[in-house]
Amino acid sequence: MTGTLFGLTFTLAAPFWALMILAPSWSWTRRIIESPLIAVPIALIYAVLVASEWGAILPAVLTPSFVDVRELLATATGAAAAWAHMIAFDLFVGRWSYLDSRERRIPAVVMAPVLLLTILLGPLGLLAYLAVRRWAVTPAEQHLG
């Protein structure tokens, strides 16, 4: 079951990434991505995995030590739960970046590599978007000029 949940995790997220990267201007993309519920199925997978190993996971997160976390992540359930955690949060960050970039009128050609970086290396994608966002002009600022 753990291997199936691991595989299902990215499968559930991939369509949303495809919409944001490949069809960013399609009217349905924004409608779909506006819902924060897109990350819920992945969060539920995470919940199932965590619940199945609650006794091992709770101590590792309440009083984390490098050794305990390393040992937890070395288990099938620990790795699958970590993966679901990353995919859910990366999708939520990607969702925010996509929506915020649309409001700021950041071109899709700029956002595509940022979103791809977010899928692959979440925090680096977030840093990249924060840098892009820093230099983006908001619609309100455009009217001032």
Other beta carbons within 10 angstroms of residue 76's beta carbon come to 13
| DSSP codes of every residue in 15-68 | HHHHHHHH-TTSHHHHHHHT-GGGGHHHHHHHHHHHHHTHHHHHHHHHS--HHH
pLDDT string in tens for the chain (145-residue length): 999 999 999 999 999 999 999 999 999 999 999 999 999 999 999 999 999 999 888 988 899 999 999 999 999 999 999 999 999 999 999 999 999 999 999 999 999 999 999 999 999 999 999 999 988 766 666 555 5
Pick the closest to residue 60 from 52, 69, 51 (CA basis).
69
